[in-house]
Amino acid sequence: MIEIHRLIQKSDILIIASPLYWYGVTGLMKTFIDRLFYYYHKDTKRKIHGKECVVVTPLNQQNVVYETEILIHFYNRLLNCLGIHKIIMYFFGEIMTRDDLSAKPEYMSQAFSIGQSLNDLFLAKDREKETIVRMLQ
């Protein structure tokens, strides 16, 4: 976990991705989230406070709004508690297997667009950092 903490602290944007599982995240993601408690303490909160986050959630259900209500509330409280700014949450309904993606080509287009948007965001942050460095020189 020390290595993961190091990577989190080094990053600008966190991408949290977990399928919806019984109205929540998977056990593996829950374990990861539990380890974020390290950043809840007043002495370590500054290490994560102000970071940005994107949440991606595939799910098998059709009624995405109803099925994700609890999960949305959970993520909002978690991120708010840690001082992390949520950029956006993406939910992809009716996905249980890889084959389900074949029936939803729009999801692949959306995933590509998400990747492009994140890339643009990363590039903008890099340009912003370069500008700040130049101003300080």
Q: What is the pLDDT confidence band of residue 82, given thresholds at 50, 70 and 90?
A: very high
Domain that holds residue 50: 2-107
Give the residues across from 90 on adjacent strands.
56
Residue with tokens 């509330």: 73
Residue 96 domain-assigned (yes or no): yes
Residue 121 domain-assigned (yes or no): no
Residue 122 domain-assigned (yes or no): no
The pLDDT score that the predictor gives to residue 127 is: 64
Share of the chain above pLDDT 90, in %: 19
Pull the structure tokens for residue 52.
């940005």
- How far is Cα 20 from Cα 67, in angstroms, rounded to an integer? 9
Residue 55 domain-assigned (yes or no): yes
Task: Output the furthest CA–CA distance in the chain (Å, rounded).
Answer: 54
Spatial contact of 108 and 92, defined as CB atoms under 8 Å apart = no
Residue 119 domain-assigned (yes or no): no
The pLDDT score that the predictor gives to residue 59 is: 79
The count of domains in the chain is 1
CATH number, domain at 101?
A: 3.40.50.360
